[in-house]
Chains A and B, each alone.
Chain A
Amino acid sequence: MTTLAAPPRDNTVAGVMRRVPWRASVVYIGFVLVFAFFSITQTEYFLTSTNLTNIVVQAAPITVMAIGAVLVLGIGAIDLSIGSTVALAALSTAVVLETTGSWWIAAVAGLVVGAAVGATNGFFITVMRLPSFLVTLASMGLIAGLARQLTDLQSVPVLDSTFVWLFGGGSLLGVPILIWWTVAAALVGWHVLRQRRFGAHVLAVGNNPRAAQVSGILVNRVKMAVFIVSGMTAALAGILYDGRLGGARYTLGEADLMTVLAAVIVGGTALTGGKASIVGAVAGSLLMSMINNGLILSGLNVSQQMIVRGAIILIAVSLSLRGKKSQ
């Protein structure tokens, strides 16, 4: 038998405390603490089922984007262009819906825009071998410009009732459709990352690209696929905004990049690649939504909300990244 005996377990309180993977648990502990805090300070409204449902519904676009971001960070890259892709895809979808009147052609058009953005990012990152940070920083600005150009800064209404039901206001079996979208995105993301060979390859590429390459993994193909997925999840988020808000505007998704990255990092996905968690990212996204909701209920004005939210994200992210070196 070659198995070594495990060292005896230290079952004192200190020993048990030491075994808890704190860094991976930050998001869940934070979730409980923030929930408890708002429950106590906001008794009247925060705990109503309407409000709790609202927290999950509001989180839908962020959660969908977070799935793509988990994969991107998983390969050790970053996609800064997702926020502006939301706006471009949302506007494209709304414009196509207005001209064709077909909800599904509009949705497909939005997704194609997202895929094209992802493929363009992927091209510069794989073929031109540029760092994803620089490529997506540039495309972020470029796409924001395109979104403004597309309708000349005008908003586009989304009136099609099927579209609005399916991507915004509908509900199925008493559960809001946006929660179904969230659950579906999370399940697909989890399946891809944990159960498919592709997910294993994503993590291998992020952890040790050379090992992945000499093991026969087509590193560039994996990177390209991940950026296309990231563009498409951003586009889907844009479509969900279209449905929920009943229209598209170039400002959509403006603040989402920070929220998505915060959700994903707090959820235990490493910025350095190779370590990623879908479940953590979903929890992170719900946490961000809850913080947002609680701050609004607290009666803070928009600038105060931004300050407090930024501070909370900073604390949460430093807690989840602290001690990384020593691990």
Chain B
Amino acid sequence: MTATPTITSPLRLAGISKQFGAVTAIQQFDLEIEPGEIVALVGDNGAGKSTLVKIISGLYQPTNGEIWISGERAELSDPSDARARGVEVVYQDLALVDLQPVYMNLFLGRELTRGPLRTLDRARMARETQELVDELDIRIPSARAQLSDLSGGQRQGIAIARATHWASGLVLMDEPTAALGVAETARVEETILKLKERGAAVLIVSHNMEQVFRVADRVTVLRRGTQVGTRVVSETSHNELVAMITGLAS
């Protein structure tokens, strides 16, 4: 991964490291993702997966290394920098506002306004939300429903829809199905595959090996902050990945 940066690749990480005081959370991490590609990031608890996602989303700053987004060197000092570059994140703990309607969540921080007084354009936000959830086939009662009235799967669907709506090239997902049942997981995975069809690059953190094989094109493994390898999903096996994650030969 020391090649010259590909202009078109939505994400390129080169030599990313992160220290928290004396703790090394990430060491020398490299990755490049193509448009329309889904890369899974796997590893045991505390391996550094969330830390890496937070670095790419601008929440943490790397101690060392370079982030390139859409072919440009990016210094991300906070999440709005990443957002401005078209990076959207679906967080492990849903970053949604329960007491607001679905459409307000979709437009949180980017609400649409109208008229000289710039009052909130609730009708248009609700309409655009409905169109988007229809397009992504996310089943909710209504775009005007209060978020706390939705199921876990529906909420995760909304979080993904929000990322889809605003991402221009890269969507990061930290365990998007961790809290979901089998049927809801399947629906969310369909939504993720729709993202790929639309040409987005996706980095997905997952503990679920079956899921990795179902949705990802490639998989990269972290063990205690060290990147132990990257495989094309169709050329690896469940056993090989488990061995890489745990560090034990199987």
A residues lining the B interface (CB < 8 Å): 1-4, 6, 191, 194-197, 199-201, 203-204, 207-208, 210-217, 274-275
Given A204-B97, A213-B79, 8 further pairs, Cβ under 8 A: A2-B137, A2-B139, A196-B119, A197-B118, A203-B97, A204-B104, A207-B98, A208-B98
- Complex interface: stretch among B7-15, B107-115, B178-186: B107-115
B residues lining the A interface (CB < 8 Å): 57, 59, 79-80, 83, 89, 91, 93-100, 104, 108-111, 113, 117-120, 133-134, 137-142
Say which residue of A6, A195, A211, A216 sits within 8 Å of B97 (CB atoms): A211
A196 and B120 within 8 A (CB): yes
Total number of residue pairs linking A and B with CB closer than 8 Å: 82
Say which residue of A194, A195, A214, A275 sits within 8 Å of B59 (CB atoms): A214
A216 and B120 within 8 A (CB): no
Which among A212, A213, A215 has the highest number of chain B CB atoms within 10 Å?
A: A215
A2 and B140 within 8 A (CB): yes
Given A195-B119, A197-B113, A197-B120, A208–B141 Cβ distance below 8 Å? no
How distant is the Cα of A195 from the Cα of B109 in the complex, in angstroms? Answer: 14
B109 and A216 within 8 A (CB): yes
Given A197-B111, A197-B113, A203-B100, A214–B137 Cβ distance below 8 Å? no
B80 and A216 within 8 A (CB): yes
B119 and A214 within 8 A (CB): no
Closest A residue to B139 by CB, please name it.
A2
Residues from chain B with a CB closer than 8 A to the CB of A6 are: 141
B79 and A216 within 8 A (CB): yes
- The B interface, classified by DSSP as helix, strand, loop or mixed, is loop
Residues from chain B with a CB closer than 8 A to the CB of A199 are: 120
Residues from chain A with a CB closer than 8 A to the CB of B100 are: 200, 203-204, 207, 274
Smallest CB–CB gap between A174 and chain B, Å? Answer: 29
A217 and B108 within 8 A (CB): yes
Given A197-B113, A204-B108, A215-B109, A4–B141 Cβ distance below 8 Å? yes
Say which residue of B97, B118, B119 sits within 8 Å of A212 (CB atoms): B97
A211 and B99 within 8 A (CB): no
Given A207-B98, A208-B98, A214-B79, A3–B120 Cβ distance below 8 Å? no
A214 and B95 within 8 A (CB): yes
B108 and A274 within 8 A (CB): no
B108 and A211 within 8 A (CB): yes
- Interchain residue pairs A-B with the least CB separation, the first 5: A215-B109, A211-B95, A216-B109, A215-B108, A195-B119
B111 and A200 within 8 A (CB): yes
Closest A residue to B138 by CB, please name it.
A2
Closest A residue to B119 by CB, please name it.
A195
Residues from chain B with a CB closer than 8 A to the CB of A215 are: 95, 108-110
How distant is the Cα of A216 from the Cα of B104 in the complex, in angstroms? Answer: 14
Residues from chain A with a CB closer than 8 A to the CB of B98 are: 207-208, 274
How distant is the Cα of A216 from the Cα of B99 in the complex, in angstroms? Answer: 18
Say which residue of B91, B95, B99, B113 sits within 8 Å of A275 (CB atoms): B99
